[in-house]
Amino acid sequence: MALIETRDLGRVYDLDAGRVVALDHVSLDVDEGDFVAVMGPSGSGKSTFMNLIGCLDRPTHGTYRLAGTAVETLDANGLARLRNREIGFVFQQFNLLPRVDALGNVALPMVYAGVDRRTRREKAHAALARVGLAERWHHRPMQLSGGQQQRVAIARALVNGPKLLLADEPTGALDSRTAAEILWLFQELNREGVTVVLVTHDADVGRHARRLVRFKDGRVLEDHRQTPLDARDLIAAESAA
């Protein structure tokens, strides 16, 4: 079943320098439980595509259905509710609140969802345990390594039980060993049923997904299935180096 359905999706920007077609009639489906790497050079349209499927921007034309909801029909409040319910975001920069501990950072999306304090704490603890940080709940970001901070960010993205996890260059700020560990976590979450769409410029990172979609000039240039590399092999190789 398709979780993401786009038909002739396009985004055009009218700038002082002229008209820029950032995304040009993209029709693409992503099934529930898939793991897709979206790749392409700067200006290819991959980031615009991610902003649109993440309900962070509106298309100029075309349609987009997320979990059966016609996204283009929603107002700003409707988009915010859909994002909070269906999508978890992970970025290159961890975007954690520096003076708040890991538990508080993970619980933050539930504050906006109106979840009571006790339930927030219980679910935040469970999310941190899911990413291997159960014992670090009371640490602030500066007391955590880069990899641990990214795990907190992933726990925050998962805490509301989204169907879709969108990751934008999630390993870009990490060393090779830590990046491999984060890729392994994404693979584990995907095996548990989380749909993952990962935007990256790194071909090595892209090879860990089950499907590769490559953009160029605002269009889909390539879309194929692949046998993903097991991130555990990368972890072992980095450990042996």
Q: What is the pLDDT of residues 92-126, one digit of tens each?
A: 889 999 999 999 999 998 887 788 999 999 999 99
Query: Exposed e or buried b for every residue in 106-116, given b needs 16+ CB within 10 A?
Result: bbbbbeeeebe
Domain that holds residue 191: 34-47+81-240
Mean pLDDT, residues 190-201 taken together:
95
CATH code for the domain of 177:
3.40.50.300
Other beta carbons within 10 angstroms of residue 173's beta carbon come to 16
**Would 67 be classed as within a structural domain?**
no
**Would 75 be classed as within a structural domain?**
no
**Would 123 be classed as within a structural domain?**
yes
Element spanning 117, H or E: helix 117-130
Domain count within the chain: 1
In this structure, what DSSP letter does residue 228 have?
P
**Would 17 be classed as within a structural domain?**
no
Per-residue pLDDT tens digits for 203-240: 999 999 999 999 999 999 999 999 999 999 888 887 77
Mean pLDDT, residues 135-163 taken together:
94
pTM score? 0.92
Q: What is the mean pLDDT of the chain?
A: 93
- Angle, helices 146-158 vs 117-130, to 10°: value is 130
**Would 201 be classed as within a structural domain?**
yes
- What pLDDT is recorded for position 240? 75
- What pLDDT is recorded for position 66? 96
